[in-house]
């Protein structure tokens, strides 16, 4: 059948209506591509039974689906779709969920959103739409599903990621700091690729770029998170976005506010956001809370503000009064005061607090006064974010094999040390879940460093999928991935695993993999899978906790075998790319071919090192770096060249 009209039901809320109108336009736009017939789109006050019409709306304005009923919810997603009298109905728990339902309906017509942008979309030509034969009702396993900006990012990259997130039912985008200049300038300056280097953005230009990204989120109803580190320095007048060294002195009247470390109160390592406060000094404590609260009052577009302490270890205040409590106890005091302040002055804003570095151990003396989901008369505005930054990525977080067998009690003040195996982090999380019973999620780094260091995205994709099968049982209601917005290399499988498994983690790994490979590679999926599976054993490391580089311990025979495998694979992949008619699948193969060529140079460098020819080893790595830099204009939406150079190439450089 065909749909000649799309009607979205007015909700009475202008914000929701804008999102619903966008959902209607998106449905019509893609139906036009699928069937060459683009329906008209219009708002409506109520449903009037008519064939050939798609009706979209929040569930409290729509008839109940014939299957399970939906209830409205601002934070929790879910949608239903069903056919009735040759009309399509899509209802959502909120307006964002209606958009998710639209994209799901399109996927049921054969559309696939493999990568950001039109070059990542598979859109078949079909004669007839297939309405659901039975009602479909879906709710995600996790509340928090999203990404956090890192790496080198352009405005176009950020906008592409926002669009892709909505299409893959990820509901959250997190922009770190008060503006994203630090990440934008890593792209626009491009010191790592001088041939394409440009000028720096100013703070004002970065804020203008952010406004466009935020508008794109709001258009889709995504949950907007912001800031993170930086509040400590903002409290003493040095609001900074990024890990930048400071050249101006701390205001003299604020020096007393800084943490005393080794008998001195000064910027820690010269970096404001790495500098802690003296929380026992009431003016500093109050300034921290007031700075956050005032920011939220003046930024009503913000859904969730991240309120983290400094981004460093062994920098906590050693004064006599601060020593009376652990840093986690001082943080708990901040959380309690801030929760009340935001409830009174910015009630629309929730805030995230961070279990990280020394804060991995929960408070001992101060109770966080927040009931689960707002019970006990307390506001439900605090969210725990657990960040196991030093974890092992060769094992899932809950894998019992990843255990060093040691006890890791809270370290003495400014003597931080922690396990790099995952059993410790599981224990730390369990302790935090006893200290705080409210909302929570995992903030993790699979696609920040490990994906580049491992020289493939398939191994980390499996670990990510396995992690998402167990986070809920561990007490976490989702994951925000701290990562480059351009981590679709070489296959994109890890990004697919992130999106699919946050929504429905009980799908088997084999199903997730096969579904994605077919979408990305079409009839060449088996050959692409053979290449990706075939290269993994060569990249595996002897250390089960992934502390050595791939190929670093390979002997001459293994390197020769790997080189032969790459030659044979590249011959086959090039022939398939030449024959591929579909541009999306052709691009997928091009990324694999580029990956194979990159590995050839890294293998050649390792072979030269074994032969004692360090100059040849450097030349091979220079060639690998050149391959990445020359391909950047073509592959930049999918491959973060800066991180790949640092972690996939320069990490192998002989010293």
Joined tokens for residue 77? 């997603």
Q: How far is CA 291 from the centre of its chain?
A: 27
Task: Kindly state the average pLDDT of the residues 631-651.
Answer: 97
The confidence score (pLDDT) of residue 560 equals: 98
The pLDDT of residue 378 is 52
pLDDT tens, position by position, 311-333 = 999 999 999 999 999 999 999 99
Instruction: Give the pLDDT band of residue 546 (cuts 50, 70, 90).
Output: low
pLDDT band at 73 (very low <50, low <70, confident <90, very high): very high
* Residues 39, 28 contacting (CB under 8 angstroms): yes
75-124 per-position pLDDT tens digit: 999 999 999 999 999 999 999 999 999 999 999 999 999 999 999 999 99
Q: Which residues does 142 contact at the CB level (< 8 Å), separation at least 6?
A: 441, 468, 471, 472, 477, 478, 479, 502, 503, 505
- Could you tell me which residue, 375 or 287, shows the higher pLDDT? 287
Res 106: pLDDT: 98
Q: State how far the alpha carbon of 71 is from the alpha carbons of 92, 93, 139, in Å.
A: 9, 6, 11
Q: Is the pLDDT of residue 255 over 80?
A: yes
User: What are the phi and psi torsion angles at 265 (to 5°)?
Assistant: -115, 105
Q: Which of 518, 397, 543, 541 is nearest to 456 (CA)?
A: 541
Cβ neighbours around 548 below 10 Å, total: 11
Structure token pair of residue 333: 């005091």
Q: Say how far apart CA 505 and CA 513 lie, in whole Å.
A: 13
The residues, any chain, with a CB within 8 Å of residue 32's CB and separated by 6 or more, are 38, 39
Mean pLDDT of 246-253: 93
**Which whole number is the average pLDDT over 601-617?**
98
pLDDT recorded at residue 57: 98
Strand pairing category for 40-44 and 53-58: unpaired
Spatial distance between the Cα atoms of 467 and 481, rounded to a whole number of angstroms: 12
Model pLDDT, residue 379: 58
Q: What is the mean pLDDT of residues 525-534?
A: 98
| pLDDT-above-90 percentage for the chain | 94
Average pLDDT over residues 603-617: 98
Q: What is the pLDDT of residue 370?
A: 64
For CA atoms 22, 27, 33, 38, the dihedral sign is negative
* Average pLDDT of span 332-354: 97
pLDDT range class, residue 375, cuts 50, 70, 90: very low
Q: For residue 331, what pLDDT is reported?
A: 98
- Residue 622 in tokens: 């220079």
For the segment 595-608, what is each residue's pLDDT rounded down to a tens digit? 999 999 999 999 99
Average pLDDT, the chain: 96
CB count in 10 Å sphere of residue 181: 23
For the chain, state the CA radius of gyration.
Answer: 26
- Geometric angle at alpha carbon 510, from 507 and 514, rounded to 5°: 105
Contact 77, 171 (CB under 8 A): yes
The greatest distance separating any two alpha carbons of the chain, rounded to the nearest whole angstrom, comes to: 79
Structure tokens at 460: 């980390």
Q: Please tell me the pTM assigned to this model.
A: 0.96
Tokens coding 164: 């892709």
For residue 534, pLDDT beyond 60: yes
Please say whether the beta carbons of 475 and 430 come within 8 A. Answer: yes
Q: How far is 166 from 376, CA to CA, in rounded Å? A: 35
Does the pLDDT of residue 380 top 90, yes or no? Answer: no
In the numeric block, which tokens belong to residue 428?
């730390």
Chain center to CA of 530: 28
How far is 236 from 68, CA to CA, in rounded Å?
53
Q: What are phi and psi of 303, to 5 degrees?
A: -90, -45
pLDDT digits (tens, 9 = 90+) for 16-70: 999 999 999 999 999 999 999 999 999 999 999 899 999 999 999 999 888 778 9
- Scan for tokens 């998710």, then name that residue: 100
Position 294 pLDDT exceeds 90: yes
């Amino acid at each position: 059948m065909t749909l000649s009209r799309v009607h979205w039901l007015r909700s009475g809320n202008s914000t929701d209506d804008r999102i619903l109108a966008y959902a209607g336009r998106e449905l019509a736009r893609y139906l036009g591509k699928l069937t060459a017939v683009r329906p008209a789109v219009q708002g409506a006050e109520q449903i009037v039974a008519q064939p050939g019409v798609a009706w979209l709306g929040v569930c409290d304005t729509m008839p109940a689906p014939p299957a399970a009923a939906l209830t409205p919810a601002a934070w929790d997603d879910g949608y239903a779709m069903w056919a009735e009298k040759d009309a399509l109905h899509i209802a959502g728990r909120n307006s964002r969920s209606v958009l998710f339902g639209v994209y799901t309906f399109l996927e049921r017509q054969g559309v696939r959103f493999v990568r950001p942008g039109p070059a990542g979309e598979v859109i078949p030509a079909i004669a007839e739409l297939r309405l659901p034969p039975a009602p479909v009702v879906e709710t995600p396993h996790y509340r928090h599903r999203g990404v956090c900006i890192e790496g080198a990012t352009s405005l176009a990259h950020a906008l592409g990621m926002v669009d892709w997130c909505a299409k893959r039912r990820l509901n959250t985008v997190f922009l770190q700091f008060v503006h994203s200049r630090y990440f934008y300038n890593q792209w626009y300056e491009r010191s790592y690729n001088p041939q394409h280097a440009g000028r720096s953005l100013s703070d004002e230009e970065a804020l203008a770029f952010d406004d466009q990204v935020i508008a794109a989120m709001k258009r889709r109803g995504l949950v907007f998170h912001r800031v993170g580190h930086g509040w400590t320095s903002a409290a003493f007048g040095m609001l900074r976005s990024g890990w930048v060294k400071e050249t101006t002195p701390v205001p003299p009247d604020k020096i007393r506010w800084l943490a005393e470390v080794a008998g001195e109160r000064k910027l820690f390592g010269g970096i404001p956001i790495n500098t802690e406060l003296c929380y026992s000094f009431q003016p500093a404590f109050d300034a921290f809370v007031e700075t956050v609260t005032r920011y939220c009052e003046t930024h009503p577009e913000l859904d969730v503000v991240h309120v983290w302490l400094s981004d460093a270890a062994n920098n906590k205040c050693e004064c006599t009064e601060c020593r009376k409590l652990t840093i986690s106890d001082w943080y708990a005091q901040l959380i309690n005061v801030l929760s009340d302040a935001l409830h009174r002055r910015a009630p629309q804003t929730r805030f995230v607090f961070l279990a990280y570095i020394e804060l991995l151990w929960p408070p001992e003396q101060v109770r966080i006064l927040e009931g689960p989901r707002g019970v006990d008369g307390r506001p439900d505005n605090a969210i725990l974010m657990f960040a196991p930054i030093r974890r092992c990525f060769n094992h899932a977080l809950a894998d019992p094999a990843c255990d060093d067998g040691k006890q890791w009690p809270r370290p003495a003040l400014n003597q931080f040390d922690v396990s790099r195996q995952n059993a410790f982090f599981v224990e730390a999380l369990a302790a935090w879940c006893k200290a705080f019973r409210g909302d929570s999620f995992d903030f993790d780094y699979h696609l920040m460093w490990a994906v580049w260091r491992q020289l493939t995205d398939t191994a980390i994709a499996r670990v990510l999928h396995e992690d998402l099968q167990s986070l809920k049982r561990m007490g976490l209601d989702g994951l925000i991935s701290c990562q480059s917005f351009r981590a679709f290399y070489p296959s994109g499988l890890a990004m697919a695993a992130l999106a699919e498994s946050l929504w429905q983690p009980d799908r088997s790994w084999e199903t997730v993999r096969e579904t994605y490979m077919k979408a990305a590679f079409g009839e060449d999926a088996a050959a692409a899978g053979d290449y990706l599976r075939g290269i993994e054993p060569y990249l595996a490391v002897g250390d089960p906790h992934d502390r050595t580089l791939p190929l670093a311990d390979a002997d001459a025979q293994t390197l020769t075998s790997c080189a032969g495998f790459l030659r044979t694979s590249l011959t086959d992949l090039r022939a398939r790319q030449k024959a591929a008619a579909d541009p999306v699948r052709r691009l997928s193969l091009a990324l694999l071919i580029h990956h194979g060529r990159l590995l050839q140079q890294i293998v050649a460098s390792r072979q030269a090192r074994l032969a004692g020819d360090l100059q040849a080893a450097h030349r091979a790595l220079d060639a690998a770096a050149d391959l990445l830099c020359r391909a950047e204009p073509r592959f930049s939406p999918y491959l973060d060249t800066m991180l790949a150079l640092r972690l996939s190439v320069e990490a192998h450089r002989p010293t």
